Structures are given as C-alpha cells and as structure tokens.
Amino acid sequence: MTPYDVANSAILITGPARSGTTIMGRVIHSMTEVEYAFEPTFLALLAPRLTDARVRSAYESWLFQNVLLDSLAGRSINANCHDESAFVKAKGSIEMAKRLASSWTSEELIPLAEGKRVAYKLPEIARTGLRMLEYYPGMSILGMVREPAEVVASLLAKGWFANNAGGYYPLELDEWPSHWDELTRCWYYWCEMTKPLLNDDRVFHVSYERLVKSPRSQVKRIAMALGLHYGPMTLDIVGTIKRQKQGPEPAIPTEMWSRVAEVKALMHARLG
C-alpha cells in the first residue's frame, strides 16, 4: 500500500451544506474498512494546484500518514464525545480504548492499514472533487442531493448568508452581485453546489429524501456499491436517521426562477 493507493481509493462525501453530509459521514465512518477525517477545509484550496506533482504528493502523504495511520494509532481521532464527528459515535468505546491503549510504531500500523480506505466529509467542494478524479480515478464521490426548499430554509435559519454573517463565502462560488439579499444568495448557493454533482456520471448520488424515508435500504445500497461492511455501530447510527423539520417553504426570487427550475429538472431526471 502506497500513499497514492490510499488517495486513489479515498471516499469524498460532499454536497451543499445542510444536505445530509454530516450524517452520511458518520455512517461511512462506522464501516469496518474506513478511517475518517471531518471537514479538512484546506483541501478546497488544493484543486487548482493538483497539476503540481509536489502538491499531489503532499495530499497523498496527508491521507496516508495523518488520516490513515494516525487514526489507527489513536493520534488523530476526535475524542470529544459531544461532537457529531466523535470517534466513539462511529466506532464505539471498545475500539477507541483499543487504539488509545498503547503507543503504535509504523511497523505495527502498516499491516493494520491493509484493506482500509480513507473517507472525508467536506461540503461545497463538488468542483474540487471532480477535478481530483482526473488524478485519482479510483476514488469515490458520494454526492448528497436534497430538495432545495429544505436546504434554503435551513440556511436561512442558520443565517450564514445574511449581510451581518461575518463574511462567510463558499470558495467555489463566483462572487454574487452586491444587491442580492440573503434569500437570493441561498437559492443561488443550492443551485451552484448541486448542479456539478448532478451533471457527472462518476458521482454516486444520494437522495436525502430517500435516505430519511428508508435509511436501512439506502445505507445497504451505498455500502454494497462501495464494497464496505457494517461495523458494530452502523445500525445504531442508521436508526437515528430521520427528517429534520424546517420552517415554511421559502419563496423563489424572480431572478432565480429559471436557474432553480433547470437544476430541479436535472435532479428529478437523475434521481427519478
């Protein structure tokens, strides 16, 4: 197993924020073969530089050493049991105790790493992920797709795109006109974060609506497609999956009508 092998078998979970990437990350993390990184945001900056072999080498080394080996050694796991991404919530307390029980050498870790895959969850990097496939054609992309009204309602509740939100701005978006209000920004965001995923046949599309309606069958479908096996915590996590209630359905601003209609049509054509 080489650092390139780890990168070429990696699993990226992405989609718009509020589309189910967090719960999907927990599900994938719980699989026996998977070691996991939660939102390594610096990766969004790498895509334009992947033409540089040195950058690819650094990325591969990070996945191999910092995510795979350091996770197996208990060095990079999230030990805060209150976090959604807590190691114990995906792998269980027995596995956590095992990893923290001793100091591991590289010679001990390499055999444990055989057959493992690295996964990471990072919303808003659809275009980045698709560029990475040019260099790592064996990697898998799980694209979360959720009905736009629910995403927009959730974004409005969070207030991330309000004028006083502190300058939050997704890296992959072109700058929006200064006169756009929060509602328009949210609808534009959903369109631009969802459309690249739907347009690419290499993405494994996951419908949020189907996931919350039939979590057992949908997780089984995903695991089979990726060649993964349930861990001790998987079914417990699946049992927590349910629809999150949102507020009233937000109106679609006039200047977003055609853009939203195009992406919704693409979504229904892709997902049925």
pLDDT tens, residue by residue, 242-256 = 887 767 889 999 999
Report which DSSP code applies to 12. Answer: E
Give CA separation, 203 vs 50, 85, 198, 252, in Å.
20, 24, 8, 27
Show the low-confidence residues of the chain (pLDDT under 70). Answer: 164-169, 246
* Maximum C-alpha span of the chain: 61
pLDDT at 44: 77
pTM score: 0.93
Q: What is the pLDDT of residue 167?
A: 57
Q: Check residue 244 and give its pLDDT.
A: 76
Q: Residue 267 in contact with residue 199, Cβ under 8 Å?
A: no
Looking at residue 28, what is its pLDDT?
98
Q: Do 108 and 73 meet the contact criterion of CB atoms below 8 Å apart? A: no
Q: Residue 246 has what pLDDT?
A: 67
- Look up residue 16 and give its amino acid: P
Check residue 254 and report its DSSP letter. Answer: G
Q: State residue 133's pLDDT score.
A: 93
pLDDT at 33: 97
- 25 is written with which tokens? 């990350």
pLDDT at 166: 55
pLDDT at 196: 95
The arrangement of strands across the sheet holding 140-145 comes to: 34-38, 117-121, 11-14, 140-145, 203-207
